[in-house]
Structure 1
C-alpha cells in the first residue's frame, strides 16, 4: 500500500510540475510524452522507496527521520528518472526546471499524508482516552520548559492510556511564559507557583505533584533542587523526576516516575573515571572482597561484576548477607564464576586458607565493625575485627602473593575520638608499614579513606526515614554536627579508581588515598531535607529533637590530619595523604601484643595499648570507656 501510494503521488507530482512549468496549454501539446514521463517517475519513486525502506515506516509514528528518508528517496528517484529519460528520449520535451519542481512536490505529497494520518490518530486516540478516563489521571505540573518536557508530553499522548494530566509547564525564570509546548501552556516564573496553584485550585484542578524535567546538574543553573523541595513541601505537593528518555520512547512500557532522593540534594559533580585503567585491573582477574555482604562490599561486588572479572570471591561472616549477595550476583551475571566463602576475618588460619585457595589477583578489604556507639560499648570486639582482622587479611594477601590489597578506611580514623576510629587508624598503620617495607615486592597495600555514605547499614538516613514514617519526632544529636557524605555507588567507584592508580615508585608508597567528599553537610539540614522529601514540613508537621552527643561522637569529622602532607594523585576525585608511619617490625610487635591482650579479654590493657599506638586518639568522653573496663573487670 505504501509503495502504491508513493508511486501515485510521484506521478501526480511530476504532472503538476509539468503543468506549472508549461501551463495547461503547453502540457496538452505534448501530453502523451509527458504523461509517460510522469508514470515512469512514479515507478522510480516506488523503486527508490523500496530500496531505502520507506515502505517499512509506520505512518502513525511518522517523524523528522521519516521526512529525511522521504527527501533521500525522492532524490534517488529524480536521479533514476533523469538517467532513464536520457536513455529513452534524450530528455527531449522534458523541461529541466520541472525536475526541481517535481522534487519539491513529491516530498510534500509523500510527507503530507503521513503527517495528516499521525495527527488524525493522535486526535482520535486522545478523544477515546478522554471517554474511557474522564478524570484524566493525576493533575501534575512540569518544572522546566525543556526537551525532556516535550518528550514526556509526546510520550504520554502517544499511549492509549496515561495516569497523568499535565496542566502547565513552569519555566523557572519566566522567559517563555505565555507560550505553549504541544498545547500545554508555559507559565512562570517559579516564584509565582503559589499563585499558579491557586488559579488551578479555583478551577477545581489543583495539581497533586510537580515533575522535574532537568538533570540534577542543570538545576544548579536554573533553580536549586533544595528550593523546589521546599516549595513542594510548603504546598504539599509530591515531587517526582522524569525517567530515562529511552524508557519514555517505548510505547508499550509504562512511564514510571521516581521520587526525588536524598542523593539528588547533594549536588555533587559526577565522577570522571579512568575506565580503561580500572578495567585492566579487573577484567579476567580473580577478585576477592571481604565484608561482601555489607553496604560497601556488596556495591563493590556489583561494580566489579560489571567489569567482567574471571572470578569473584565473596567473603563475609554473615551467612544471610553472603547468601543474599551471592544469589543476586549469580542471577545477574551468570557468565562469571562467583564463589562464597563464609569466614570471619578474626580467624587468622581460616582467612589464610581461603586466600591461599583462591589466590586472588586483587583483594578489597571492606569487612569492619563501623557503628560508633556499638564499638564504644564493646571495644574489644572493634579491636579484634577492625585492627587484628585487617592484619589477618593483609598477612594472608602477602603470603598468597596477591597483586594488591585495598583497605577501606574512614574519616573517623583522623584524630579519632572513638574506639572505632582508633582501630581503623591502627589498621591503616599496619597496611602502610607493609607497603613501605622494601622487602615487600610482589604486593601493594593501598588504603582508601572516605566519609559517610548515604543509606548504608546503621547510618543515620534509614533511622531518620523510619522516624518520619512514624510521624516523628526526628532525633538529631546536636544542631551543629556536620558530616561528609557521598553515595554508596560513588564511593565504590572512587575506591576502584584509587585501586587502579597505585603508583609503583617507592617514594610514593605508604600514602593514604582520600576521596574528595565535597563540603560537609549539617545533620540537621539532612533531617530537614528528608522531611521535605516526604511531603511534610520540618518543625511543623514533623518535629526535630536534639538528644546530645553519644559516646565517641564528634561534632565535626576531618579527612586529613593537620600533620599529614597532602598531594595530588592525577586521578579525578582522589587526593593522597602522607601520614606518620611505623616500621614493619615495630607494628608487628604492637599487633602481637594486642592479639595477646584481646585474647585474654584484658579491656584495660587493650585500650591502653590502643591509645599508645594511636596517640592522636583522644576520646571526647572517657567515662563510658572506664565504665566498660569496670564492667569487664567484674565479669
Structure 2
C-alpha cells in the first residue's frame, strides 16, 4: 500500500513518529514521508536521524492553522494523525488550547483531506476517550466522532477515515516506566493507588495496529488492539524490588483502571483474534458486512478494561522487555 506513496504524519516528532517512520522505511518503499509538526527544534533533532534520506521531509505547521494544513497535504496519499495536546493536567488548566488542537485541529484536517483527495486517514486515539472523565479524554472522544463522521462528509469523494485506540505506551516519554527508572535510586516510589492497573503496549505494536487499520478499513472503524494489563505496584516491583511504595492518591482526572471499550459500545463491537473493532453507530454501518468481515459480535454489557483483562504481563516479561529496550526508554 505504501510503496511509492506519500505519507504525512501530523505531530510526527512525537514518540509515535520516531517509531513509525523507521519502521515504514524498513518495510515499505514510500516516495515521501512528511513530518508535520510545530516544534522546529524537535524537527531539527529528528532530521539528524534521517540525514541523507531524501524521502523524509519536514514541514513546520500546526493543525490549528487550516491554510497550512491544506498546503501540507498537496500530493499526499495517506495521513496518520498523531498531533494532540495529551498531558491530562495541561489540558485541565488550558482547556481552550486543548480544544483548539484536539477538536478544531481534527476538523481542519478532515476538511483538508477530503478537499485534497487523500485516500485514507488513520487517527490515533486513547483509552481516555472511552467514558472520559477529563478534558483530554473528552476532546479525543469528540475527535473520534469527527473522524467517524468524516466518512459521511466525504460524500462521493473516496477519502476514508478510521481510528486506532490504545493505552499506556511502554517506555514513552512521560509514562510510568521511565519515571520509575529515573527515581529508583531514591528508595521510594509514589503509588497513586495499590489497586491501579494499566494496559501495556509497545510503540512497535502501536505502529502495526495503524498498518492493520490502513489495510482493513472501509471507513469509520475504531480499532482496539488486545494487549496485556499490569498492576502499577508490579511495575514498580519489577524496576526496583527493594524500593518502598508510598501511596499518594489518585490525581485529578486520573482513572483507577484504563478502559478502551465501554459497555455502551458493546452493541457495535466485534472481536477478532488480535483486536476488537468498534463499528460506527450511524448509517447502520455496524451491520455492514464489509466492515464486520469475520468478526464475532461481543456480548451485551461487554467491557474491555485493564482490570478485567484476560491477559496479564508478568514481572519477568516486563523485566525482559526493559532489558531489550533500556537504551531507548524515555528518549522518545
Is the TM-score greater than 0.5?
yes
- Out of 459, 475, 494, the position equivalent to 2:209 is 494
Match of 2:238 among 520, 529, 534: 529
Q: Which of 552, 569, 580 is matched with 2:253 structurally? A: 552
Structure-1 residue corresponding to 2:270: 567
* 3-state SS of paired residue (1:452): coil
How far the C-alpha of 1:574 sits from its partner, in A, is 2.6
Per-residue Cα deviation, 1:351-387 (whole angstroms, up to 9, x for no partner): 112113xx21110001111111221222222111111
**Which ranges of structure 2 fall in alignment gaps of 5 or more residues?**
284-332
- Aligned with 2:255: secondary structure? coil
Aligned mates of 1:368, 1:433 — CA distance in 2: 19
* Deviating 4+ runs (over 4 angstroms): 579-582
1:332-355 deviation line (CA, Å, top 9, x unaligned)? xx3x42210011111111111211
Instruction: Give how far 1:578 is off.
Output: 2.4
Distance, in Å, in 2 between the alignment partners of 1:418 and 1:440 is 36
Alignment correspondent of 1:446: 162
CA distance in 2, matches of 1:452, 1:561: 17
1:476–1:546 Cα contact (<8 Å) kept: yes
- Equivalent residue for 2:8, pick from 284, 288, 302: 288
Distance 1:378 1:579 in 2: 31
CA-CA distance at 1:441 after TM superposition: 3.0
Is 1:322 aligned with 2:43? yes
State the distance in 2 between where 1:557 and 1:399 align.
36
The Cα of 1:284 is off from its aligned counterpart by: 1.0
Quote the Cα distance in structure 2 between the aligned partners of 1:430 and 1:581.
12
Residue in 1 that maps onto 2:190? 475
How far did residue 436 of structure 1 move?
Answer: 3.7
- Compare the two structures and name the one with the higher helix fraction: 1
| 1:294/1:457 contact within 8 Å kept | no
| 1:437–1:398 Cα change, 3 Å | closer
Structure 1 unaligned runs (5+)?
1-280, 504-508, 532-536, 583-635
For residue 515 of structure 1, the aligned residue among 214, 225, 230 is 225
CA drift at 1:472: 3.2
Alignment of 1:161-180 (within 5 A): none
Q: Residue 225 of structure 2 contacts residue 274 of structure 2 at CA under 8 Å; is this kept in 1?
A: yes
How far 1:456 sits from its partner (Å)?
1.3
1:293-345 per-position Cα deviation (integer Å, ceiling 9, x unaligned): 100122111111111211111111111211222221235xx3x4221001111
Q: Please say if residues 10 and 35 of structure 2, whose CA atoms lie closer than 8 Å, have aligned partners that are also in contact.
A: yes
- Which of the pair has the greater relative contact order for Cα pairs under 8 Å at 6+ separation? 2
Alpha carbons of structure 1 residues 284 and 560: separation in structure 2 relative to 1, 3 Å: same
Quote how far apart the aligned CAs of 1:581 are: 5.0
**Post-superposition CA distance 1:235-280 (Å, at most 9, x none):** xxxxxxxxxxxxxxxxxxxxxxxxxxxxxxxxxxxxxxxxxxxxxx
| Partner of residue 134, structure 2 | 418
1:297 aligns with 2:17: yes
Corresponding residue SS for 1:397: helix
Give the 3 Å change call, closer, same or farther, for CA 468–428 of structure 1 in structure 2: same
Correspondence list, 1:8-27, <5 A: none
TM-score, normalization by structure 2: 0.80
Q: Is the 8 A contact 1:563 1:579 kept in 2?
A: no
**1:457 counterpart SS class:** coil
**Conserved? CA contact 1:434–1:440, under 8 Å:** no
Alignment partner of 1:576 is 2:292: no
Structure 2 distance, partners of 1:364, 1:353, is: 16
List aligned pairs for 1:201-600, cutoff 5 A: 281-306=1-26, 307-331=28-52, 334=53, 336-356=54-74, 359-437=75-153, 439-469=155-185, 471-503=186-218, 509-518=219-228, 520-531=229-240, 537-538=241-242, 542-564=243-265, 565-568=268-271, 573-580=274-281
Taking the aligned partners of 1:573 and 1:421, their CA distance within structure 2 comes to: 24
Aligned residues: 281
Tell me, in whole angstroms, the C-alpha distance in 2 between the residues paired with 1:477 and 1:363. 37
Larger radius of gyration: 1
Contact 1:494 1:573 in 2 (8 A): no
Contact 1:498 1:574 in 2 (8 A): no
> Is the 1:436–1:510 Cα contact (8 Å) retained in structure 2?
no
1:397 & 1:369 partners in 2: Cα distance? 21
Aligned-pair CA distance for 1:455: 1.3
Contact 1:451 1:517 in 2 (8 A): no
Give the distance between the partners of 2:220 and 2:160, measured in 1 at CA: 9
User: How far apart, in 2, do the equivalents of 1:377 and 1:550 lie?
Assistant: 14
**Residue deviations 1:96-143, cap 9 Å, x none?**
xxxxxxxxxxxxxxxxxxxxxxxxxxxxxxxxxxxxxxxxxxxxxxxx
Q: Distance in 2 between matches of 1:394 and 1:510?
A: 13
Question: C-alpha offsets along residues 59-101 of structure 1, whole Å, 9 cap, x if unaligned?
Answer: xxxxxxxxxxxxxxxxxxxxxxxxxxxxxxxxxxxxxxxxxxx
Superposition RMSD in Å: 1.9
Aligned 8 A contact 2:32 2:56 in 1: yes
User: How far is 1:568 from its partner?
Assistant: 3.7
Question: Which secondary structure does the structure 1 equivalent of 2:260 belong to?
Answer: coil
Quote the Cα distance in structure 2 between the aligned partners of 1:317 and 1:300: 18
